[in-house]
Structure 1
Amino acid sequence: MTETAMLAKVRLRVEGMDCTSCATKIENALHRMRGVSDVIVSVSAGTGTVVTDDDEDLIRNQIVKLGYRVTGSEFVENTSARATGGGTSLEPRPESREPAGDGQAWWQTRKGKLTIGSGLALATAFIIGKTAPATEHWAFLLAMLVGLVPIGRRAVAAAGAGTPFSIEMLMSIAVVGAVIIGATEEAATVVFLFLIGELLEGVAASRARASIQDLTKLVPKTARLEENGQIREVQADTLEVGATIQIRPGDRVPGDGVILSGESAIDEAPVTGESTPVRKRPDATVFAGTVNGDGLLRVRVTAAAADNTIARVVRLVEEAQESKAPTERFIDRFSRFYTPGVVAAAALVAVVPPLVFGGEWSGWIYKGLAILLIGCPCALVISTPAAIAAALSAGARRGLLLKGGAVLEQIGKITVACFDKTGTLTSGKPQVTDIIGFARSEADVLRFAAALESGSSHPLATAILTRAAVKQISLPPTSDSKAIGGKGIRATVEGAEVFLGSPKAVAEFCPLTTEQETQIAALNDEGKTVSLVALDGKIAGAIAMRDEPRPDAKSGLKLLTDAGIRTVMLTGDNRRTANAIGKQLSIDIEAELLPEDKQRIVGQFQKAGWSVAKIGDGINDAPALAAADVGIAMGGGTDVALETADAAVLHGRVADVAAMVDLSKRTMINIRQNIAVALGLKAVFLVTTVVGLTGLWPAILADTGATVLVTMNALRLLRLPTTEPFQS
């Protein structure tokens, strides 16, 4: 009988995962469980995301059997699916973020305690062996068992759950084999070195995990809530949308919101990487985790704690770390054949020379066991995800969000970048560019215009009022104010009748001179909108406005051009305005385009063999963003910007597109270095083992040492600058 089963998607936080082989063991085990339809395990995020209709406790128990700890869980979503037969509905637990143990000192962790215990047992065995040589063999055997018993348990559990060729299994076979041929002291040493290697891997993995989780510490624990004229301190994570909070100078902002009253310079560097504090006034947006500068602010909360900018960034990066890059998928496929191949090679080395060439059995078995340890794939399979996780974290810490390793890898391959104009290359808001005095001074022209526009929220009015505020102009009172639809606004100011409107509207009652018409035409040719101010029937002056390029637009485009990437502007704006901006920024233009036209042009580039990045605001550019090889949304952390495209630039710097390209290229170089180290060390020790120069303990160092080197090399990406653009 077929019925609809309710599946729940749950993200578990798992402690003890240090490399991709750990993730493989968990994935294989959970995939074999009834009721589990999908499993994604991320070592870098320390999470396992499971889609299941079964009891969450059964899943937790299976993970624990493999030697890991489940320290918390969060319900992600419910999804329905057609299922045959019964099936229980998983009741989602409320979100839980218990401590993951990564904050513990290394000696307080289970692996740390086990390593210390194994080391003490080995030292004790060494002392006993020197003082009572007859008991040396048994002393080292007991020392070996201190570390090998938990390793062996994990090996058996992994084999039973579908991963027979785990590193623990290879390790157990090698050590038991060493004991059989009488190398007990070396076997105990190898176990201790293996545990040290695992411990170092765990420390490195914790560092990588903490790099992004540290962002959550930027949000203060408490907030000053305003209710009924009273201020009281509450937990920041209890703030509801619509609540009013007060933020004192020097305080961190406890939640995303909009300023109701007050003015202050906001330091956004912790969240966006913007090095210069941004002046914010009423109606401006503030982000959780930023620092209030010099003014008292009243803010209306616009997002709950679980949905603020910091929480969304962390969640997005964790989800991105679950998405594998093409290189990582290739390495995973390669390792499935590589590990059994190593086992076969080790068996041949141990058996063929004695059988065929009459070699000494103990010597060749010893070499075969060493090859087992050399062949452990940990360093190889961690080479790509470690670098990608570090790069995603480094990018997120400076406002560059990339949705997975595949996106990170692809961005470095782009050959043409197609930019939207409004809100992407430009600020998206008109600004006063020119003030011309005809019959009155420039200051008077601005003063009268701002007086008429006072109280208006029209974008052109906002531009005039902003310029007046910057110039600290005191606005005179107005009377008999009247808006004339489609033409302008009229009022009485300081006893004079003042009119502010378009040149065409003003010309109806006040003719323009040839010189004035020439100046206005020149401004129009530059893509500027011109408004005239008339006093008592005489033209006092003109104000020109235009949506100006972002401050870093020209330098940001040059960074891309210098990197060999062609830049093109795709805009729906009129050709005259587009030409003016294009000339100013030295960029090719395509103007007067509909959304489907932008999508068509992106497709034409792709057919011609270009790899295309489309950069836009994530709304009217959605078709082109989806069609491009990489879609990049510009804008301050809005839901659309974060969800529409493959990547997002949180604080809207054009130069950050070049920073993404540079980050991708650095990451791919890092990955190639990691693979070279992993395979190179194995190749060297393979040769030295076969010729008899190295044995078991150098073999285990070849594996754990390579894993630590690869991880530490990947962590170098975390040290990329967070407040200045990356340099190519």
Structure 2
Amino acid sequence: MNDASTGKTRFRVGGMDCASCATKIENAVSRLPGITDVGISVSAGTMTVSHEGAVPSGEISRQVKALGYSVAMLGTARQQDRHGDKHEHGPSRSHDHADHAHGHSAGHSHGSDDARATNAGHDHFDLDDGPWWQSRKARLTIACGVALVAAYAIGLLLPQIGHWAFLAALAVGLVPVARRAFAAALTGTPFTIETLMTIAAVGAVFIGATEEAAMVVLLFLIGELLEGVAARRARASIRDLADLVPKTALVEEAGATREVPADSLRIGSLILVRPGDRIAADGVIIEGSSALDEAPVTGESAPKTKGVGDAVFAGTINTDAVLKIRVTAAAADNTIARVIKLVEEAQESKAPTERFIDRFSTYYTPLVLLVGALVATVPPLLGLGQWSDWIYKGLAILLIGCPCALVISTPAAIAAGLSAGARRGLLLKGGAVLEGMRRVTTVALDKTGTLTEGKPVVTDVIGVGRPEAKVLSLAAALETGSNHPLALAILARAKADGVPVPPASAAKAVAGKGVTGKVGGEDVFLASPGAAGEMATLSAELKDQIAAFNADGKTVSVLVAGKEVAGIIAMRDEPRPDAVAALAELKAQGIGTVMLTGDNEATARAIGKGLGISVRAGLMPDDKQRIVRELQQLGQVVAKVGDGINDAPALAAADFGIAMGGGTDVALETADAAILHGRVTDIPAMIALSKSVMGNIAQNITMALGLKAVFLVTTIAGITGLWPAILADTGATVLVTANAMRLLAWRGR
């Protein structure tokens, strides 16, 4: 969209800790002229406002402040910027099997506005940046507590003015709450927790329960404070990811190094990473070899040795040698930044259960007011007791009915689940995806780059009249300097085996046949079996061996030295080390699996046999999509896993599309979820996370409604009153939040 008068502006909102807070803010801001849409992420503490013309920041600030929250503008992103920039991606960003570059479509805005944080005149503690005890909620709670203690002291020393002392203590906590209730009512949200609290406290004063009213307000404020502390912890779990990336980097320029801010690094910059340092950007190693601790990013416990040509992630730790790295992604596009962006976007979308709870609470709060009014008036009108007793019970019901615990039960668990998944490299684009993933009955997987590593490796070396090491040495000599995948496989095997690689002269490629040259004065030709058969005689035994390798899905190269066959080398794109375990785990969960690949039948069948998975081979992109739809017509809930452009149609058609590894940008944009670090075992882990989150939500709703049901009965029976009623709500809120926060420790199996 190119209309310069239309834009989106993001705000940081302080003190917003639950879905009911978000509803009040959304209703208030959406009523302003020029505002077309308001999106709020409670877990990220942000608000995205779509507007026509200039953003009315002053009016937005006044509306939000009136509700008791603080606000600061983070930046403006014009609509046309969302897809306009193209970025270069390194190996950690995409796997392109056709050697083509893909434009970036993930939609990041990199203008200076996005880097600007304009404080709207509020102290920074209100924006959740300082210690929790310096927040606005903490200050109000402490002031109310001190006032209540003072009122008790005055009541003991001067009983005749004790009532007024408690009334003053009540006012300290209640006036801000009542002000927020009034502001919410004026801006479209009349039925709020603050409304119930205000009515209950004022009613208690009129029936002479001023002390109880003051204590109830204090307990309510304590509950809100604890809720805020829990929300801060959830936000911190994502913000901690940003802290993994160091603030500075050592850049090499013209043979000299200098320290620069990490966010100033550009694609193509060369950085030096010393032992013990964190890597400041996504990139590719161009010099050196070292063990990297990737646990902060991938969750892998053991360091991984990487050398020249290997991709590295920002935030990982170099353990034992100096590395020179070429940067492949700017700070706004590195692995950590992408994780944070995807999680924050996901947290802005509501799960079906959350949407249901929101709709339910819209009717629930007015119903609580009605029930409270009926309990307070009907029994005494029927002559069943004193007015004061039933009014007291009606007020207690208002407190019992506070929907806070119920409203927060789902979003707290969803936010914690999304955060826990992100820290393990499981990115889910929204609560609906996280909630629904548990229903998957069939997983359709691509082969290349998903079940397999996506690059060939040498599996067999057979010498004919020469040692295997000599065959590998001659082949590596011919392939030195080549970037062909098969050449890289031979060179990698030679390096791994410690085989010497002598220099080759007059090396050249022979179109459609292989590569030839002189090594140690000897003419050497590394060719396909057909081309080799034109130069040398292949024995029947050798032909049988080549046929057997081909049947196993392996590519065979024949080494001819002089006029004689010197040996054969077999290569294949091998399954990922964890593929068998992952498929077994899916089977144990009762989930079916199928491989959908464009590769040839023989290769696909060989891989499928080793993995124990059914195979559909030789497929075009539309064939994969058609098969997914056929499975759905059979009643299956299908998750499609892939990493390439040819997987995009099937990813979009599946109930849940999962992009594997870095993946192409097209796959990442089309998919509902992404497995960032290429572990096949993360597929059943993602489904297990969904089940854990939904189990947690069920526990939360049971606790929230169960406690209310118990105290509703005991209140009507006259067993409990105002204090236990607010303790029930506050306690339920704390229990629900604490239970949801348990998900932050989720690590899978």
> Which structure 2 residue ranges, 5 or more long, are not aligned?
82-110
Kept after mapping to 2: 8 A contact 1:41/1:48 = yes
State the one-letter code of the partner of 1:349.
Answer: V
Residues 688, 694 of structure 1: 8 Å contact kept: yes
Residue equivalent to 1:411? 437
Which residue of the other structure, out of 129, 132, 145, is the alignment partner of 2:155? 129
- Does the alignment pair 1:237 with 2:238? no
Which residue is equivalent to 1:44?
Answer: 43
Kindly provide the CA deviation profile for residues 674-723 of structure 1, in whole angstroms up to 9, marking residues without a partner as x: 000000000011111111111111111111111111010001011112xx
* 8 Å CA contact 1:9, 1:76 repeated in 2: yes
Give SS of 1:218's match.
Answer: coil
Which of the residues 558, 582, 595 maps onto 2:584? 558
Q: Give the whole-Å Cα distance in 1 for the aligned partners of 2:598 and 2:443.
A: 17
AA of the residue aligned to 2:202: V
1:706-721 equivalence runs, <5 A: 706-721=732-747
Distance 2:664 2:618 in 1: 26
**Counterpart check, 1:315 vs 2:335:** no
Name the SS for the 1:407 alignment partner.
helix
Matched, 1:57 2:90: no
Out of 367, 391, 394, the residue aligned to residue 365 of structure 1 is: 391
Contact 1:618 1:644 in 2 (8 A): no
Q: Aligned-pair distance for 1:4?
A: 6.4
Q: Distance in 2 between matches of 1:476 and 1:439?
A: 20
Which shows bigger deviation, 698-707 or 604-613? 698-707
For 1:534 and 1:307, how far apart are their aligned partners in 2?
48
Kindly provide the amino acid, as one letter, of the partner of residue 189 in structure 1.
Answer: M
Alignment counterpart, residue 96 of structure 1, candidates 109, 116, 130: 116
> Residue in 2 aligned with 1:84?
none
Q: Structure 2 residue aligned with 1:491, among 504, 510, 517?
A: 517
1:291-690 alignment runs, 5 A limit: 291-636=317-662, 639-690=665-716
Aligned: 1:142 with 2:168: yes
Aligned residue in 1 for 2:230: 204
Which amino acid in 2 is paired with 1:519? Q
CA distance in 1, matches of 2:265, 2:303: 26
Q: What is the CA deviation profile of residues 298-321 of structure 1, one whole-angstrom value per residue up to 9, with x for unaligned ones?
A: 222222222211111111101100
CA distance in 2, matches of 1:641, 1:553: 21
Q: Cα distance, 1:25 vs. partner?
A: 0.4
Task: Work out whether residues 416 and 565 of structure 1, in 8 Å CA contact, stay in contact via their aligned partners in 2.
Answer: yes
Name the SS of the counterpart of 1:427 in structure 2: coil
Aligned to 1:8: 7
Superposed displacement of residue 194, structure 1: 0.7
How many residues align structurally?
Answer: 711
Amino acid at match of 1:68: Y
Decide whether the 8 Å contact of 1:258 with 1:300 is kept in 2: yes
Structure 1: state its 5+ residue gaps: 81-90
Identity of aligned residues (%): 64
Kindly provide the amino acid, as one letter, of the partner of residue 621 in structure 1: D
Residue deviations 1:480-523 (CA, integer Å, cap 9, x gap): 22321111111111222111101111111211111111111111
User: In the alignment, is the contact (CA less than 8 A) between 2:376 and 2:394 conserved in 1?
Assistant: yes
2:77–2:113 contact (8 Å) kept in structure 1: no
Amino acid at match of 2:255: G
C-alpha distance in 2 between matches for 1:317 and 1:444 = 52
1:700-711 correspondence to structure 2 within 5 Å: 700-711=726-737
Cα offset, 1:234, TM superposition: 1.4
Q: Is the 8 A contact 2:527 2:558 kept in 1?
A: yes
Q: Which amino acid aligns with 2:192?
A: S
Partners of 1:288 and 1:308 within 8 A in 2? yes
Instruction: From the superposition, tell whether residues 222 and 5 of structure 1 become closer, same or farther in structure 2 (CA, over 3 Å).
Output: closer
The letter of the residue matching 2:379 is: P
Write the letter of the residue equivalent to 2:725: A
* 1:538/1:601 CA distance change after superposition, 3 Å: same
Q: What CA distance in whole angstroms lies between the structure 2 residues aligned with 1:469 and 1:273?
A: 28
CA distance in 1, matches of 2:591, 2:440: 7
How far 1:154 moved relative to its partner? 0.6
Q: Are the aligned partners of 2:13 and 2:127 in contact in 1 as well (CA < 8 Å)? A: no
Rounded to whole Å, the distance in 2 between the matches of 1:596 and 1:588 is 19
Question: CA–CA distance in 2 between the matches of 1:92 and 1:234?
Answer: 19
Tell me if the contact between 1:506 and 1:534 (Cα under 8 Å) persists in the aligned partners.
Answer: yes
Q: Which residue of 1 aligns with 2:67?
A: 66
Inter-partner Cα distance in structure 2 for 1:527 and 1:554: 18
**Cα distance in 2, alignment partners of residues 391 and 521 from structure 1:** 50
Question: What is the alpha-carbon distance in structure 1 between the residues aligned to residue 667 and residue 336 of structure 2?
Answer: 15
- Displacement of 1:79 in angstroms is 6.1
Shift of 1:652: 0.4
How far residue 641 of structure 1 moved from its aligned partner, in angstroms, is 4.7
* Superimposed CA distance per residue, residues 60-111 of structure 1 (whole angstroms, 9 cap, x where no aligned partner): 221111110114413233269xxxxxxxxxx994433576743422221111
**1:407-443 deviation line (CA, Å, top 9, x unaligned):** 1111111000000000000000000001111221111
Task: Return the alpha-carbon distance in structure 1 between the equivalents of residues 719 and 608 of structure 2.
Answer: 67
Seen in structure 2, the aligned counterparts of structure 1 residues 718 and 259 have a Cα distance that, compared at 3 Å, is same
Write the distance in 2 (CA, Å) between the matches of 1:493 and 1:94: 58
Whichever residue aligns with residue 257 of structure 2, its letter is: I
Deviations 1:118-150 (A, max 9, x none): 111111111111111111110100010011111
Find the counterpart in structure 2 of residue 217 from structure 1. 243
Q: Please say if residues 71 and 127 of structure 2, whose CA atoms lie closer than 8 Å, have aligned partners that are also in contact.
A: no
Change (3 A) 1:166 1:695: same
TM-score (norm 1): 0.95
Shift in Å at residue 220 of structure 1?
0.7
Determine if contact 2:608/2:614 at 8 Å carries over to the other structure: yes
Q: 2:496 & 2:185 partners in 1: Cα distance?
A: 71
Q: Following the alignment from structure 2 to structure 1, what is the Cα–Cα distance between the partners of residues 668 and 506?
A: 47
Amino acid across the alignment from 1:18 = D
How far does residue 29 in structure 1 lie from its aligned partner after superposition?
Answer: 0.7
- Indicate conservation of the 8 Å contact 2:651/2:667, yes or no: no
Q: Distance in 1 between matches of 2:692 and 2:318?
A: 34
Describe the shift of the 1:709–1:77 C-alpha distance in structure 2 as closer, same or farther (beyond 3 A): farther
The answer as to 2:24 corresponding to 1:25 is yes
SS in 2 for 1:412: helix
**2: CA distance between counterparts of 1:132 and 1:229?**
81
CA contact (8 A) 2:643 2:664 kept: no
TM-score by length of 2: 0.93
SS of residue in 2 equivalent to 1:9 = strand
Judge conservation of contact 1:9–1:79 (CA < 8 Å) in 2.
Answer: no
In 2: Cα distance, 1:180 partner to 1:599 partner: 68
Could you say what secondary structure the match of 2:573 adopts?
strand
**Any conservation in 2 of the 1:649–1:656 contact (CA below 8 Å)?**
yes
Please state whether the residue corresponding to 2:199 is helix, strand or coil: helix
Paired AA for residue 383 in structure 2: F
Q: CA deviation at 1:479?
A: 1.7
Write the distance in 1 (CA, Å) between the matches of 2:639 and 2:562.
Answer: 54
